[in-house]
Every structure is written in C-alpha cells, then in structure tokens.
Amino acid sequence: MPTIAKLPSGSWRAQVRRKGRYVSETFLRRDDALRWSRLAELSVDRNETPVSSRIGRITKFGELVQLHIEDLTAVGKPPRRSKAATLDMLRRELGTIKITAFDRERLIQFGRARSEAGAGPVTLGIDIGTISLVLSHAAAVHGLPVSTEQVGLTRIALKRLGLVGKGMERDRRPSESEVENLIAFFEANERQIIPIGRIIRFAIATAMRLDEICRVGWADVNERTRMLLIRDRKDPRNKQGNDQRIPLFGPSGYDGWSILAEQAVQVDRHNRFLPALRKLKLSPVATAT
C-alpha cells in the first residue's frame, strides 16, 4: 500500500515501496498524490519505471514535442535549424491532439494535408520520421505508454499513396547564363539589402550551405593560406565538432577570396552577410595581384 503523508508546508508526499523499489512525489492535493501512487504501483507490477507527476500529466502531442526539445537542450544538443523548424510545424499542426487520438487515420489525414499544402515526398517522410522520434523518445526516456506502431502503419500507407518516397533526382545543373540571370535579378532590385548575388557566387565557389555562409567570421579565415574554416559542418553522423577547412580559390569561375574581400569593404547596411569580415583590410583589386 502507498504511504500518503501531509508535510508541514501543507503539501502531500506519496511514497511507494513495492518489489524492492522506492519512488516518491510531492503534490498540492491529497487526491493527486493518491492517484499517482496507484499508477506507480501498477507500473512497478508491469516491470516499468513509474513516471514523474509532471510527465504523467502529459496528454497532448505538443507537450511531447516540448519535452523532447527540453531533454535535448539539457544534454547540450538542442535541435538545429531544420529539425527545429520541423518540430515547430508539428507542434503547430498536431500539438493540440491528445496522445490517445494519435492513430493511423489521423496521421494519414495530416499527411494528405501536408501534401496538398506543397510538401514533397521527402519532406513528408521527414515529418513522419520526426513524429516517430518524438514518441519513441517519450517511451524510452520517460517510460510513457506511447507506441510508434501507428506511425509505422501511416508511413506504409503514405508510401502506397505516393506521398512519401525518394526525392526527384536532379538531371542537370544550372547553366552559367541561368546563374548570371538569377544574380542580375536580385542585384537589379534597389531595395535589396542582403547581398543575394554575392551569396550565390560564394555558394558556388565554396559549395557551402546558406547557414554555413552566414556563420562565417574573419577569425575563420586564414589570410596567409587563403583557407576558410567551416565550423560544425552538417553531417548526419556527426552533428557537432565537424569542423572542416576549405581553400578559397576560383575553379568554379567565381573566386571565393575575392568575394570575401569585396564584401569586406561594403557599408554597414550589408552587415547581414559575413558581418565580421567588414574588418578585412584587403580590397578586391589587391586580391588579384
């Protein structure tokens, strides 16, 4: 039998000793303490770990998403840009749904809606995978009675419907004239503050992602060797500490070093792109020698 005791503060402490295990929680109301202790005893009888009162009160999927984010942040691995965007979308679209209502039919409905809104097969596959990840995290880390079985059935159904699958393989690269037309389009806009044209040329010169480009600082550039350090480069197997150095030269037709020097001498209104490089003392003309 659980032990329910009133503390001097007026709160109630529930203590469960069963099969050699001991757990306790503190509650403001005696009824809550009694309810939790009974659930804790059932968990022990099923050889499961009793969940805390806070975790046990979770009833909606959005709360599971928040719990997942908090746990990752606590161990120094907060969701990065793409995963954070997916989690925010799932919390917005599915956050109010009760966990008990998270069945195959409801998830297929979500998949159809995402597809109609423009999500491609790869994007939708990532969405479904993230849902499965959130649920399995709750079950494995916190012992919540949730299952990913319905998510697995949903993936099969969406795959049969052609809504989840591999992305379309690129059959060609943009031509030089297409790239130049794209750059000219942005540079012709007098209200354009962000140097999109320069970013495009630098991306082609270095094969860097946009978030990698916008994280570049002058401390990452070796002026003597003309090498650039890319910090925490994206890698599915190594998400942090994957630093790489790349040379800044122009085999693609765009000279990465010249582009950095060009950006460095721009006025402050361009500081959204490579802001730390405004301290660069070289000029574009100097880099050509």
Q: Which of 5-14, 111-120, 209-218, 259-268 has the highest mean pLDDT?
A: 111-120
Question: Which residue's structure tokens are 């649920």?
Answer: 135
Number of residues written out for the chain: 289
Within 8 A by CB and 6+ apart from 96, the residues are: 60, 61, 62
Residue 104 has pLDDT above 80, yes or no: yes
Asked whether the predicted pLDDT for residue 46 surpasses 80, the reply is no
pLDDT digits (tens, 9 = 90+) for 236-258: 666 566 788 999 887 778 888 88
Q: Mark out the alpha helices in 46-148 (DSSP H runs).
A: 53-56, 61-74, 81-94, 104-116, 121-142
pLDDT tens readout for residues 125-162: 999 999 999 999 988 888 777 889 999 999 999 999 99
Contact 162, 121 (CB under 8 A): yes
Tokens linked to 130: 């993230």
Amino acid identity at 166: K
Instruction: Identify which has the larger pLDDT, 68 or 17.
Output: 68
* Residue 132, pLDDT score: 95
Q: What angle (nearest 5°) sits at the alpha carbon of residue 252, between those of residues 273 and 178?
A: 80
- To the nearest 10°, report the CA torsion of 68, 73, 79, 81: 140
Kindly indicate the confidence band of residue 115, based on its pLDDT and cuts at 50, 70 and 90: very high
pLDDT higher than 70, residue 278: no
Per-residue pLDDT, 48:
64
Please report, rounded to a whole number, the percentage of residues in the chain having pLDDT higher than 70: 83
SS3 assignment, position 123? helix
d(CA 110, CA 265): 49
Question: Cα–Cα distance between 98 and 64 in angstroms, integer?
Answer: 10
Confidence class for position 209, pLDDT limits 50, 70, 90: confident
Q: What is the mean pLDDT of the chain?
A: 82
pTM: 0.64
Q: Please report the sign of the dihedral spanned by the C-alpha atoms of residue 276, residue 224, residue 212, residue 209.
A: positive
Task: List pLDDT tens digits, range 184-207.
Answer: 999 898 887 778 888 899 999 998
- Please enumerate in sequence order all residues whose Cβ is within 8 A of that of 242, keeping only pairs 6 or more positions apart, or say none: 232, 233, 234, 235
In eight-state DSSP terms, residue 49 is P
Task: Tell me the pLDDT band of 270, cut-offs 50, 70 and 90.
Answer: very low
What pLDDT, on a 0 to 100 scale, did the predictor assign at position 95? Answer: 94
Q: CA neighbours within 13 Å on the CB side: how many for 198? A: 20
Stretch 172-182: mean pLDDT, rounded?
A: 90
Which of left, alpha, beta for 253 (phi over 0: left; psi -120 to 50: alpha)? left
**Tell me, what's the pLDDT at 281?**
46
What's the whole-number mean pLDDT along residues 92-121? 92
pLDDT at 97: 93
pLDDT at 261: 79
